[in-house]
């Protein structure tokens, strides 16, 4: 699973993104077989506009997409 940072150009002066780690790195996705077969991308998006403090331990929703970029409706569970 990967992360994308939104609005990086809106970080305050003097702030920058450092190293990051997505935890958990795996999730369990449950849905119908036809939906599971369409999965192309599993990702989290983090909005960093105006951010002035660490985002360690921030919870963000996991998004699941098909190859055309359509969000798929699935059940997602953390997998340790």
What pTM was computed for the model?
0.74
- Where residue 53 falls among pLDDT bands split at 50, 70, 90? confident
Q: Where are the domains of the chain?
A: 2-79
Question: With 60 as the cut, is the pLDDT of residue 13 above it?
Answer: yes
Exposed, middle or buried, 64 (CB in 10 Å: 0-12/13-18/19+)? Answer: buried
List, for residues 17-51, the tens digit of each pLDDT value.
888 888 888 899 999 999 999 999 999 999 999 88
- pLDDT value at 80 more than 70: no
Q: Can you give the pLDDT at residue 40?
A: 96
Q: If you average pLDDT over every residue of the chain, what do you get? A: 89
Q: Which of 68, 67, 63 lies closest to 29, judged by CA?
A: 63
């Amino acid at each position: 699973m990967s992360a994308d940072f939104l609005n990086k150009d809106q970080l305050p002066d003097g702030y920058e993104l450092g190293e990051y780690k997505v935890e958990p790195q795996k999730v369990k996705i449950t849905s119908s077989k036809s939906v599971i077969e369409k999965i192309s991308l599993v990702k989290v998006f983090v909005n960093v506009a105006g951010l002035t403090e660490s985002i360690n331990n921030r919870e963000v929703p996991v998004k699941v997409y098909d190859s055309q970029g359509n969000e798929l409706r699935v059940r997602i569970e953390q997998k340790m």
